[in-house]
Structure 1
Amino acid sequence: MNSKNSPLEQELWEDWIKNRSGDAANELIANYMYLVNFHTERISSHLPSRVSKDDVKSFGLLGLYDALKKFDPGRDLKFDTYASFRIKGSIIDGLRKEDWLPRSIREKTKKVEQAAEHFEQKHQREASSEEIAEITGMSADEVETAIKDSLFGNILSIEEKPKGGKTDLKEGIGYSIPDDTAILPDRHVMQDEMKGELIEGIKYLNEKEQLVISLFYNEELTFTEIGQIIGLTTSRISQIHKRSIFKLRKSLTKMQVFN
């Protein structure tokens, strides 16, 4: 909630906060549903095709409702910002509980990572997806998909809650609300270093790959929106993104930790 809300939105918020009106809640959820759709699109782009986007959206909707219930209008924080973190956290939490990455895929990603590491040690350069495919007996497309799955798997493992002791306070990347007034110097330096590595890595992508990565990670557009800009189908943008992630896998894995 903020001062720029329309009179109708302001009335809905007041009705919800004072009376916990179910009708007001439904209207507010509908009003902020675009946040659920946005995070569903972005997170789904990193998931295997077997993971239902409807399931991801359901997790996000739970996060939006949770944000609505727990939002404190007295805090100097926009609801959009608070809800975004709750939605993202709820999706990641739901995916982790569902164990979306089966053992067969985990073994495949491990095989790809090991092959890539051995190749780099031997040849002193990063391997292409074709070279890793030759080593592992997989196709280049399977290699790129494994890297994409591995990237999001790393994020889910980072999101694991501490074991032992129950608490209502959710911690982790998805649930933490950043305090922009208290950025730790070492964290700030590390973020700059990671971004520097990503920028350097992007230079080695072709023009179309650079554009897709820039629009997705910097402008935060969905694949559908990027496709409309470039004039390609959503599936083609997904393929370009997957190939780009393979080339940038080290930098992007580090960057995702701080997003």
Structure 2
Amino acid sequence: MDELCRAHLPLVHFEVRAISARLPGHVFTDDLVSAGMAALAMAAKSFDASLGVPFGRYAVRRIRGALLDELRSADWATRSLRAKVRRRDVVHDGLAAQLGRRPSDAETAEALGCSVAELERLDADLHSSVVLRLDVITDSVGADSVLPSTADTPEVALVARERAAYLRDAIEVLPQRLQVVVRGCFFDDRPMRELAEELGVTESRISQMRAEALKLLRDGMNAQLAPELVEEPVNAGGAVARRKAAYYAQIAARSSYRDRLTLPAGVTEVPTTSHIAG
């Protein structure tokens, strides 16, 4: 039995290739091979050499029958639906040959003796009966064509790079003491106590400086990317307003548009957008 199976294994693959050439792409041929192998084993087990029939001929019939059974079990369309589709196809092809062009739905429906709505329902029923396998889709056309993509588009990547560059510039032109707090808190993960000792202030003052720096960073970036989000100063001619305007101008002059867009990825490991927005 084992020798018969090993010697006739090519029969299974030959029959699977022959039948799969006439099948839609979503049919998984590995399932057909498994069914064919099982049929070959059953044929070897039940084969009676005394009947004078060559084993190859006997096994091929069993294999073909098993492949058809496997296809029927995987087909969600009923026999009546398949019969209607075959009749539709015959009528459609006949009209195309007669008219010398592709017939319209109305012409096909009239030849079939049904309404256009019934013809459309037939197509909908057929399409709903097709089961697609994800592994076949990804092998044949690629997962990117059927699954939502999580990759950034070029536009999103450029905007993110420009924001990172502006954030880098905004940090580098902060007042020195605020820059020490920002880098200590967000770059070096230093405790506030240590920063307070270095700057000669209290921990609560470090917390205030941190909040002040983040507000400056947020407003500085908004001044470049979304000026409408920057609050108008109460006293436009006051010292605070002038210092802020000078800070915004320093950020704008720090780098060129080309420099910002060519910023290498990962250069600015800085406070996140959520930190700045807070």
Q: Same fold (TM over 0.5)?
A: no
Larger of the two Rg values belongs to structure: 2
**TM-score, normalised by the number of residues in structure 1:** 0.35
TM-score (norm 2): 0.33
